[in-house]
């Protein structure tokens, strides 16, 4: 209505304005939708491209870190075991010419953190790193690590430190090689920094703890990413584990496209920011041009609309003038006939016919009232019209049939004069409501003229044009027999409801519209939902959208007459549960299915028992590592991945040297301790992508996946040998245990798991033939590529 008041009074002007508004709205909406879809697609493409570029950069940094770690390992291997003096260590560092290019400095410290030697002279005199976390961690774990960013004690620069322990013959850390990467001046991040997106975008690196490793603003190095006030939701999600791209605002409120990728080598997050304004500058210009074009198009359409509407409405203007003449000057009704063949001509003819038929309608009204009286007298209900003073003005013949009262004697009498004061008091509340202008529908029992009746009454107000209520229509139907039957049925339903409410099963009835018609008390115990509120609620609003979509195919099959069942998971009172639901169709004699009954049972405990039995069937009971059954599954899956991804893998076959002698001399208890400790060391020496398993007796296997080159297999084998080399503690006494290993690289092609196992077994046999306590690698050509025996 407010919009109508704003429009001009002229119909022609209104129609023109409406056309202009519709054209402008339609053009603007279509333009906005097209630009929005283009912007969305463009945003997705930019985000995916940026994330792909970031993934390449992350892979490059992973390769650089791996290369530097390998260089430190090579320096450590070049130091003679019997001459690990400062001069010998310095000479070993100097022999590796690439060390000066790869690191800002390479230094060595003894097991107490005291300075031994370095590639470049330290700024501090004999620095000590005993309190440095990276040094403490290297000593504790006896393995190489990559430190968080810190200020170097040797170089006094912001650095990242790579360590490599030098292990003596007793398995203890004799010294630690430390290679530092200068975060300010080195070329380590040069290639990374050149890959920034756009002109104003940039890339940066932080640790998973938020410390900045690389940033365009070098003054922020070693600073926490959240040191500045404010919050960047994208960076916060990345710290929480997110990988990928997203749109977010920086701490200055500027929108941008952010991408995040975690490194494999260490706990670094590589990130990039591309300002949204720069990315979508062409799209913003296009949007402005589209709005201008829509406005011009709407203006042209408005001018054309005015001309066309003015011509089309001229007959309507003539009809308006004729109506004015008939009403004010008593013109002939024939003036309404314009003779036109269009809609306006039909309107004028209709006005003429309506006027001519008015008198005929009045004649028909009298006949209609007579028919209405006949109908009212013959319907099986009490029908009456009562005024505001509760006096009867109309009654039908059913009063005599049902109550024995002559309806004609009731006319002009008050309600209480016919039925008594007590009956009038019982109905007073209904009379007050209907005389206030509201319709009343009520069912109530009562004694009417000494007869016990249950009446269903409909009271309809007679609303006058001015809104007043001079009286009301009242129609009462005898429903005594029906209510008696309903009470009997309700008693039966109460008994069934009592049984259903105490079953440990969630029971409900669902109609063909997937709306609940019944639910037992289990809904309250499981879902905290009052079962009395369930009838009439859609199934999706009670179970949730995802649970409804999961159940829908099974429910549709049940409505076709089939008993169906399925399992699903849900959270009940905060705990995950496994639920089994059976849909039972209510098949009628004609084959229709108006309802389906759902019976949902909590089977969580039985499924947990089944899962535990399955897990135990796939684990070795003595050592707790995978058994032969799980190993065979893992090996088949690894071979399939190698074929699909065109990568490489290897299989190691191991046994414990002279295990029969250990078992015979120490007994089965001692042998079992050796097996358990051996399995523990194997599990601790392999990567997370590898699988160690026990086949039988002292036979073990390791599936090495994601092998990048043949030399990596030798490093993995040496790591296993080193893990076993330390003395075992068996029956409270030290025991030297050695192992023989046979390793087979996957030959590719059609080689099966059995063939790979056979080659690994042959390589193990070759190791034993060479004297045990070592390993042999079959490179896929049937010949040993490397054989190493430990002293």
Residue 783 has what pLDDT? 43
Q: What is the pLDDT of residue 97?
A: 79
What's the rounded Cα separation, in Å, for the pair 313 and 15? 11
- How far is Cα 476 from Cα 612, in angstroms, rounded to an integer? 68
Residue 128 DSSP symbol: B
Report d(CA 87, CA 100) in Å as an integer. 18
The whole-number pLDDT of residue 679 equals 94
In whole angstroms, give the CA distance from residue 379 to residue 727.
106
What local confidence, expressed as pLDDT, does residue 748 receive?
85
* pLDDT value at residue 445: 79
SS3 of residue 576 by DSSP: strand
Query: Using CA atoms, how far apart are residues 211 and 221, in angstroms rounded to an integer?
Result: 8
pTM above 0.85, yes or no: no
Q: Report the alpha-carbon distance of residue 275 to residue 255 in Å, rounded.
A: 6
Per-residue pLDDT at 742: 96
Q: Is 113 left (phi over 0), alpha (psi -120 to 50) or beta?
A: left
Contact 738, 690 (CB under 8 A): no
CA distance 202 to 216: 7
Q: Residue 642 contacts by C-beta under 8 Å, 6 or more apart in sequence?
A: 648, 649, 705, 746, 748
Distance CA 769, CA 767 (A): 5
What are the mean pLDDT values of the chain's consecutive 10-residue runs (791 residues total)? 59 68 73 68 80 88 89 87 83 85 87 88 80 90 90 75 90 90 80 80 89 86 86 88 89 88 90 84 67 72 73 69 68 66 70 66 69 79 90 88 84 88 87 91 73 83 90 86 69 64 81 89 84 88 86 90 87 83 90 89 78 74 92 93 90 95 91 94 93 93 91 93 93 93 91 93 94 91 48 39
């Amino acid at each position: 209505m407010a919009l109508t008041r704003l429009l001009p009074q002229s119909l022609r002007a209104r129609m023109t304005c409406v056309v202009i508004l519709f054209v402008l709205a339609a053009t603007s909406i279509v333009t906005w939708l097209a630009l929005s879809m283009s912007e969305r697609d463009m945003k997705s493409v930019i985000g995916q491209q940026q994330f792909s570029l970031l993934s390449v950069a992350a892979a490059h940094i992973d390769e650089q870190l791996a290369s530097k770690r390998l260089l430190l390992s090579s320096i450590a291997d070049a130091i003679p075991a019997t001459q690990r003096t400062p001069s010998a260590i310095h000479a070993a560092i100097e022999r590796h010419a690439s060390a000066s290019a790869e690191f800002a400095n390479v230094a060595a410290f003894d097991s107490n953190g005291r300075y031994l030697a370095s590639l470049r002279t330290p700024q501090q005199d004999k620095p000590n790193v005993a309190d440095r976390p990276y040094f403490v961690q290297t000593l504790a774990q006896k393995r190489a690590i990559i430190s968080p960013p810190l200020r170097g004690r040797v170089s006094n620069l912001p650095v990242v430190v790579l360590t490599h322990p030098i292990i003596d013959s007793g398995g203890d850390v004799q010294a630690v090689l430390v290679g530092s990467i200068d975060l300010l001046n080195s070329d380590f991040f040069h290639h990374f920094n050149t890959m920034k997106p756009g002109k104003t975008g940039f890339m940066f690196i932080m640790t998973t703890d938020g410390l900045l490793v690389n940033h365009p603003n070098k003054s922020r190095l070693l600073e926490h990413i959240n040191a500045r006030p404010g919050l960047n939701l994208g960076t916060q999600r990345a710290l929480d584990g997110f990988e990928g791209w997203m749109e977010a605002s920086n701490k200055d409120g500027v929108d941008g496209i952010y991408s995040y990728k975690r490194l494999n080598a260490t706990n670094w997050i590589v990130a990039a920011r591309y300002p949204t304004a720069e990315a979508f500058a062409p799209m913003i210009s296009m949007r402005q041009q589209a709005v201008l074009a829509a406005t011009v198009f709407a203006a042209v359409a408005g001018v054309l609309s005015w001309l066309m509407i003015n011509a089309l409405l001229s007959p309507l203007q003539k009809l308006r003038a004729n109506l004015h003449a008939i009403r004010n000057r008593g013109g002939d009704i024939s003036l309404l006939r314009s003779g036109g063949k269009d809609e306006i001509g039909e309107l004028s003819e209709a006005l003429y016919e309506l006027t001519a038929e008015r008198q005929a309608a009045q004649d028909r009204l009298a006949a209609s009232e007579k028919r209405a009286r006949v109908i009212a007298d013959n319907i099986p209900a009490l029908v009456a019209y009562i005024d505001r003073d509760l006096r009867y003005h109309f009654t039908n013949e059913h009063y005599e049939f049902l109550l024995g009262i002559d309806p004609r004697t009731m006319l002009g009498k008050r309600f209480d004069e016919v039925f008594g004061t007590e009956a009038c008091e019982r109905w007073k509340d209904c009379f007050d409501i209907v005389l206030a202008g509201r319709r009343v529908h009520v069912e109530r029992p009562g004694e009417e003229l000494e007869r016990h009746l249950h009446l269903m009454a409909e009271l309809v107000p007679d609303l006058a044009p001015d809104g007043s209520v001079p009286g009301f229509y009242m129609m009462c139907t005898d429903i005594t027999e029906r209510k008696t039957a309903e009470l009997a049925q309700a008693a039966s339903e109460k008994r069934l409801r009592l049984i259903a409410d105490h079953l440990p099963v969630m029971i409900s009835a669902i109609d063909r519209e997937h709306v609940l018609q019944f639910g037992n008390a289990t809904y309250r115990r499981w879902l905290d939902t009052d079962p009395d509120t369930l009838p009439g609620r859609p199934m999706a609003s009670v179970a949730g959208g995802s649970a409804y979509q999961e159940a829908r195919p099974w429910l549709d099959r049940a409505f076709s007459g089939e008993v169906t069942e399925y399992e699903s998971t849900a959270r009940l009172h905060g705990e995950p549960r496994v639920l089994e639901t059976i849909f039972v169709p209510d098949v009628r004699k004609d084959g229709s299915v108006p309802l389906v009954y759902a019976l949902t049972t909590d089977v969580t405990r039985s499924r947990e028992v089944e899962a535990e039995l399955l897990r135990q069937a796939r684990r070795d009971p003595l050592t707790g590592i995978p058994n032969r059954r799980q190993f065979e599954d893992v090996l088949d899956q690894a071979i399939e991945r190698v074929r699909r991804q065109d990568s490489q893998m290897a299989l190691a076959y191991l046994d414990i040297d002279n295990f029969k002698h250990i078992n015979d001399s120490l007994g089965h208890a001692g042998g079992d301790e050796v097996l358990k400790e051996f399995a523990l060391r194997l599990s601790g020496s392999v990567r997370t992508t590898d699988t160690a398993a026990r086949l039988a007796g002292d036979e073990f296997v390791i599936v090495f996946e994601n092998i990048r080159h043949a030399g990596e297999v030798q490093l993995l084998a040496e790591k296993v040998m080193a893990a076993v080399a330390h003395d075992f503690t068996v029956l409270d006494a030290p025991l030297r245990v050695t192992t023989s290993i046979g390793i087979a690289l996957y030959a590719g092609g059609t080689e099966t798991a059995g063939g790979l196992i056979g080659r690994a077994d042959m390589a193990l046999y070759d190791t034993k033939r060479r004297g045990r306590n070592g390993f042999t690698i079959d490179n896929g050509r049937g010949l040993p590529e490397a054989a190493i025996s430990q002293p």
